[in-house]
Amino acid sequence: MSVLAFPKAKPLIWVCNCGCATFELRDDGEAVCAICGEHPVGYSGGWYEAIKDGPPRPDDAPGALYNTHGNGSVEFARRRTAQIASEDDVVTIVVLRADGQVTTWSGIDSPARVQWMRSQLKQAAGLIADQAKRFYQKGGQS
């Protein structure tokens, strides 16, 4: 008797067309993009590799954007974001305070990575702006 070893499937995450990989899971079984409100079905997104210990993704690969939601708890969102920031694969941290003070740290080590970082930060700024827009369109409710 022969036993075939099938290759292990790569872990994948679903990413919405808007680039967000955060979804609201509702009690009726629906999943809705936390940023644009789309239902992640059909052509409104795609599967991307999510290998934490794998090799770095190419700089030109499409990236997933994550948005930490506190579900009404700023303390939860801050704890979760701090936990993510402490992971070994983090290469840039930016903290913006209400008074305008900015604190940064970066492990970026080449001109190509600087360009990549700028692109990622631009996308992150768009994600934050979209979230703020949705917040105010809902009348200030998260």
pLDDT by residue (tens digit) across 22-38?
788 888 888 888 777 77
Structure tokens at 104: 């940064």
CA dist., res. 73 & res. 20, Å (int): 20
pLDDT by residue (tens digit) across 107-133?
999 999 999 899 889 888 887 887 777
In a domain, 3, yes or no: no
Q: Is the pTM value of this prediction over 0.75?
A: no
In a domain, 2, yes or no: no
In a domain, 76, yes or no: yes
In a domain, 98, yes or no: yes
CA dist., res. 142 & res. 27, Å (int): 17
CA dist., res. 43 & res. 64, Å (int): 16
Question: Among residues of the chain, what percentage have pLDDT more than 70?
Answer: 68
Structure tokens at 126: 């768009």
Report which DSSP code applies to 62.
-
Structure tokens at 114: 């600087």
Higher pLDDT, 16 or 119: 119
CA dist., res. 43 & res. 62, Å (int): 16
Q: Which domain holds residue 26?
A: 12-137
- Total of domains in the chain: 1
